[in-house]
């Protein structure tokens, strides 16, 4: 609720059991039931099958699935929930993947998510960023510097944490204020 009260447009719920940020669909549902309308409720999945994605999304009450890594057309056709794909960019040309879709672009790292690794922002110069949600290495100090790129949105996790999975109320508030300023 701190993030929502500070003006967040979406909240993410990590349904990847190996993550220190993991939450069960049941616990996510308890939080989601308390949210006001018009807040996007994003379910994060890593290499999950359609049955898991559909089941967890329905149980939790999420409104969007964020699909990490092994995503193919067959999987997408089986989903009952809207979704966005995640691109782990290693080089400039990677950011153009799925360019006709809304997508989340994160820095490539061996482990899954929350590593705080930042992308080379120069890769986005002269690129239409209006369908890109940028993630990776963002924090309250650097998020405002992205304004001129015209990203659809920004995504943060480790950049507002005290430790893995533990958010800082002050950092969350600062990040959202700086992102919206």
pLDDT value, residue 69? 84
CA distance linking residue 139 with residue 120, whole number of Å: 15
The pLDDT value recorded for residue 112 is 60
Q: How far apart are CA 181 and CA 176, in angstroms?
A: 8
Q: For 97-170, where are the E strands, in sequence order? A: 103-107, 132-134, 153-154, 161-163, 166-167
Per-residue CA distances from 121 to 14, 65, 141, 163 (Å)? 26, 26, 15, 25
What are the DSSP calls for 3-21, one per residue? HHHTT-SEEEEE--TTSTT
Any alpha helices (H) in 61-110, and if so which ranges? Answer: 73-77
pLDDT tens, 93-135?
Answer: 999 999 999 999 999 877 665 566 788 999 999 999 999 999 9
Q: Is the pTM of this model over 0.85?
A: yes
The residue behind tokens 């994160």 is: 106
Going along the chain from its start, the domains and CATH numbers come out as 2-180 (3.20.20.70)
pLDDT of residue 91: 95
Structure confidence by residue, pLDDT tens digits, 87-102: 999 999 999 999 999 9
């Amino acid at each position: 609720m701190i993030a929502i009260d500070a003006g967040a447009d979406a909240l993410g719920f990590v349904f990847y059991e190996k993550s220190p940020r993991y939450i069960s669909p049941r616990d996510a549902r308890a939080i989601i039931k308390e949210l006001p309308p018009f807040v996007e409720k994003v379910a994060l999945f890593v290499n999950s099958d359609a049955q898991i994605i559909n089941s967890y999304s329905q149980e939790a009450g999420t409104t969007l699935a964020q699909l990490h890594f092994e995503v193919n057309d067959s999987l997408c056709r089986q989903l009952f929930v809207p979704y966005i794909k995640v691109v782990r960019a290693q080089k400039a040309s990677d950011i153009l993947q799925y360019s006709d879709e809304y997508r989340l672009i994160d820095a490539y790292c061996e482990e899954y998510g929350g590593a705080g690794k930042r992308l080379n922002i120069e890769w986005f110069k002269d690129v239409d960023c209006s369908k890109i949600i940028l993630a990776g290495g963002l924090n309250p100090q650097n998020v405002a510097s992205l304004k001129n790129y015209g990203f659809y949105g920004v995504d943060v996790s480790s950049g507002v944490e005290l430790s893995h999975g533990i958010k800082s109320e002050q950092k969350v508030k600062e990040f959202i204020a700086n992102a919206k300023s």
